[in-house]
Structure 1
Amino acid sequence: MVQPQAVIFDIGNVLIEWQPERYYDSRLGEAGRRELFAAVDLHGMNDRIDAGARFRDTVYDTAEDHPRWATEIRWWFDHWIDLASPRIDRSIRLMRALRQRGVPVFALTNFGDDSFAYACTQYRFLSEFDRAYVSGRMAVIKPDPRIYEMVEQDCGLPPDALLFTDDRADNIAAASARGWQVHHFKGADGWAAALVAAGLLTESEAA
Structure 2
Amino acid sequence: MVKAVIFDIGNVLIEWQPERYYDTVMPVAEREAMFAEVDLHGMNDVVDRGGDFRGTIYDWAERYPRWRDAIRRWHDDWIEMARPAIPHSVRLMKALQARGVPVYALTNFGIGSFDYATGFYPFLTEFDRAYISGHMGVIKPEGRIYEMVEEDCGFSGAELLFTDDRADNIGAAHLRGWKTHLFTGPDGWANRLVDEGLLTEQEAI
TM-score range, shorter chain: over 0.9
What is the distance in 1 between the residues matched to 2:111 and 2:40?
A: 18
SS of alignment partner, residue 122 of structure 1:
coil
Residue 56 of structure 1 is matched in structure 2 by 54
Q: Deviations over 1:98-136 (max 9, x none)?
A: 000000000000000111111111110000100000000
What is the distance in 2 between the residues matched to 1:155 and 1:23?
A: 36
SS of alignment partner, residue 180 of structure 2:
strand
Residue 70 of structure 1 is matched in structure 2 by 68
Q: Does 1:101 align with 2:99?
A: yes
Q: Given residue 188 of structure 2, which amino acid in structure 1 is its aligned partner?
A: G
- The 5 Å alignment of 1:19-58 reads 19-58=17-56
SS of alignment partner, residue 81 of structure 1:
helix
What is the distance in 1 between the residues matched to 2:27 and 2:165?
A: 26
What is the distance in 1 between the residues matched to 2:30 and 2:123?
A: 34
Aligned residue among 119, 137, 161 for 1:163: 161
Q: Deviations over 1:143-187 (max 9, x none)?
A: 000000000000001110000000000000000100000000000
Give the fraction of aligned pairs with identical amino acids, expressed as a percent: 64
What is the distance in 1 between the residues matched to 2:30 and 2:83?
A: 21
Residue 132 of structure 2 is matched in structure 1 by 134
Q: Does 1:206 align with 2:204?
A: yes
CA deviation after TM superposition for structure 1 residue 68, in Å: 1.1
Task: Please give the TM-score of this superposition, normalised by the length of structure 2.
Answer: 0.99
Residue 196 of structure 1 is matched in structure 2 by 194
Q: Which runs of 5+ in 1 are unaligned?
A: none
What is the distance in 2 between the residues matched to 1:178 and 1:38?
A: 34
Q: Which runs of 5+ in 2 are unaligned?
A: none
What is the distance in 2 between the residues matched to 1:9 and 1:166?
A: 7
What is the distance in 1 between the residues matched to 2:90 and 2:198?
A: 15
Q: Given residue 173 of structure 2, which amino acid in structure 1 is its aligned partner?
A: A
CA deviation after TM superposition for structure 1 residue 29, in Å: 2.2
Residue 182 of structure 2 is matched in structure 1 by 184
CA deviation after TM superposition for structure 1 residue 64, in Å: 1.0
What is the distance in 2 between the residues matched to 1:55 and 1:35?
A: 24
CA deviation after TM superposition for structure 1 residue 42, in Å: 0.5
Q: Given residue 118 of structure 1, which amino acid in structure 2 is its aligned partner?
A: Y
Range with greater deviation from structure 2 (115-124 or 189-198): 115-124
What is the distance in 1 between the residues matched to 2:67 and 2:142?
A: 31
SS of alignment partner, residue 43 of structure 2:
helix
SS of alignment partner, residue 140 of structure 1:
coil
SS of alignment partner, residue 157 of structure 1:
coil
Give RMSD over aligned pairs: 0.6
Aligned residue among 76, 79, 83 for 2:77: 79
